[in-house]
Amino acid sequence: MNTADLGLPVDVPSTALFTDQYELTMVQAALKAGTAGRRSVFEVFTRRLPDGRRYGVVAGTGRVLDAVENFRFDAGVLDFLRRRAMVDQQTLDWLAGYRFSGDIWGYPEGEVYFPGSPIMRVEGSFAECVLLETVILSILNHDSAIAAAASRMASAAGDRPLIEMGARRTHELSAVAAARAAYVGGFTSTSDLAAGFRYNIPTVGTSAHAFTLLHDSERDAFRAQVESLGRGTTLLVDTYDVTEAVRTAVEVAGTELGAVRIDSGDLLLVAHRVRQQLDELGARDTKIIVTSDLDEYAIASLAAAPVDAYGVGTQLVTGSGHPTASMVYKLVARAETDDPRDPLVPVAKKSSGGKTSLGGRKWAARRLDEYGVAEAEVVGTGPVPGELADRQLLVELVKGGAVVAREPLDAARERHTAARANLPLSATQLSRGEPVIPTEYVQGRSGS
């Protein structure tokens, strides 16, 4: 992908080795057996939501499109595979010309999903589709987990903005993806400059405790920051004594001080005391930002506190206890020969332990009640019932190997806000519960 298409400055490198070795050995065996070219349909779905969650959030779709577009086996990658003797020469020759030429349909980014939702459908030859399994799951599982946590936090925060601050709590590349997913889920900005650079997400940041400790006094530190960044800056007031720091901050910056940040202590109590003190000092417009290992429950507990914004790190980038969405990528239909005119035959894994799957190429639609609120996720094969025709969820993402649905990140963010608003009110409850709407299955022919 040339990210200049979206006005973004970073190109994505080859993603060909973001895969598991058995993807390549399956291709080798299928090439030898003459089955590699059979038309196939793979679907991404999850059998269950993380314990207690009411809905999931689709995130990472845009990154999947980049990854598919850049899935190329260049000379260096092929030489690595050759030196390791991972696959034979026939397979290396086939990989050298690999370009995904199939179709991909999926829930648009920012949409919500439920158990069994066919979040993404990948169609093409078996060989070209199976190679994409790991990279697609890697992206969707990570990003959707972060976006779901972000969405719960955004619901708890209401109209108060959320700042993503988790870069130092995860892998450096995961941090960029996490900031992107958090933005889709409802966060307003990030402290991570790489995320701002790659995805044009608003960035924020002022100073840490180290800056205060560097100077001979807190007053000196505040004065240096204000002289450099202006009176609208945010001063960190809990390095020593909060009450004294707030007084000094207003003396240095005046009543035009932009904000103070509190990063420790009993945030509910401290926020009330700081608000009262700021008002008494005449700094009525100075905002209060709180950080300190927040999650959705801590944010909800501060709903009655005079807090203007939240900064969230560790709990966000780890999915607030659920770092994966547990999505799988399964073959659900395939042809019996490599003739493109051959009809598709439903296939499904049958096993114990809750790992079964349903065969057939699927569609999905969301049924609404008389008030326009979602009441069921309907998943089926064959013809779509007429009453659900205009409520279908899957959209075309890739056609004949070409991306056809790239969009600005703000579109996904806005879509999520709208999708969440169409769910029953209980969707935003933080108490444990089942998915907020049931998944219903409609059996029919798998289609061709």
Residue 366 lies in a domain: yes
Residue 152 lies in a domain: no
Q: Which pLDDT score is estimated for 168? A: 95
Same domain for 196 and 268, yes or no, is: yes
Instruction: Evaluate whether 122 touches 136 at the Cβ level (below 8 Å).
Output: yes
Q: Which pLDDT score is estimated for 188? A: 98
Residue 448 lies in a domain: no
SS (H, E, C) the chain: CCHHHHCCCCCCCCCCCCCCHHHHHHHHHHHHHCCCCCEEEEEEEECCCCCCCCCEECCCHHHHHHHHHCCCCCHHHHHHHHHCCCCCHHHHHHHHCCCCCCEEEECCCCCEECCCCCCEEEEEEHHHHHCCHHHHHHHHHHHHHHHHHHHHHHHHHCCCCEEECCHHHCCHHHHHHHHHHHHHHCCCEECCHHHHHHHCCCECCCCCHHHHHHCCCHHHHHHHHHHHHCCCCEEECCCCCHHHHHHHHHHHHHHHCCEEEECCCCHHHHHHHHHHHHHHCCCCCCEEEECCCCCHHHHHHCCCCCCCEEEECHHHHCHHHCCCCCEEEEEEEECCCCCCCCCCEECCCCCCCCCCCCCCCEEEEEEECCCCCEEEEEEEECCCCHHHHHHECCEEEEECCEECCCCCHHHHHHHHHHHHHCCCHHHHCCCCCCCCCCEEEECCCCCC
Given a cut of 50, the residues of the chain with pLDDT beneath it are 1-4, 447
Same domain for 230 and 102, yes or no, is: no
Which region holds residue 108: left if phi is over 0, alpha if psi is between -120 and 50, else beta? beta
Residue 150 lies in a domain: no
Q: Note the pLDDT tens digit of each residue in 230-257.
A: 999 999 999 999 999 999 999 999 999 9
> Is 150 buried (19+), middle (13-18) or exposed (0-12) by CB count in 10 A?
buried
Q: Note the pLDDT tens digit of each residue in 37-69.
A: 999 999 999 999 999 899 999 999 999 999 999
Q: What's the first-to-final CA gap in the chain, in angstroms? A: 31
Query: Domain boundary at 279, 297, 320, which?
Result: 320
Residue 140 lies in a domain: no
Residue 143 lies in a domain: no
Residue 141 lies in a domain: no
Same domain for 119 and 167, yes or no, is: no
Same domain for 197 and 228, yes or no, is: yes
Residue 175 lies in a domain: yes
Same domain for 354 and 438, yes or no, is: yes
Q: Which pLDDT score is estimated for 6? A: 55
CATH of residue 211's domain is 3.20.20.70
Query: Domain boundary at 266, 287, 320, which?
Result: 320
Q: Based on the structure, what is the number of domains in the chain? A: 2
Q: Which pLDDT score is estimated for 219? A: 98
Q: Which pLDDT score is estimated for 1? A: 43
Same domain for 355 and 279, yes or no, is: no
Same domain for 350 and 294, yes or no, is: no
- 339: containing domain: 3-131+326-442
Same domain for 264 and 331, yes or no, is: no
CB-CB neighbours of 211 under 10 Å: 16
Same domain for 228 and 357, yes or no, is: no
CATH of residue 87's domain is 3.20.140.10
Query: Domain boundary at 269, 301, 320, which?
Result: 320
Cα separation, 114 vs 46, in Å, equals: 8
Q: Which pLDDT score is estimated for 378? A: 98
Q: Which amino acid is at 185?
A: G
Same domain for 288 and 358, yes or no, is: no
Same domain for 314 and 261, yes or no, is: yes
Same domain for 202 and 309, yes or no, is: yes
